[in-house]
Amino acid sequence: MSVTIAQVNTMPRAEFIAEFGGIFEHSPWIAERAWESRPFSTWEALHAALTAVMESATAEEQLALLCAHPELGARGLMSELSAAEQAGVFHSGMPERRGFRRYREKFGFPFIFAVKGSSPSDIAFALQIRLDETREAEFQQALREVRRIAWFRLQDKFKEGG
Q: Which residues are catalytic?
A: 69
Query: Mapping DSSP to helix (H, G, I), strand (E, B) and coil, where does residue 115 land?
Result: coil
Distance (Å, whole) CA 92 – CA 137: 30
Distance (Å, whole) CA 16 – CA 8: 7
> Rounded to whole angstroms, what are the CA distances from 94 to 4, 121, 123?
36, 8, 9
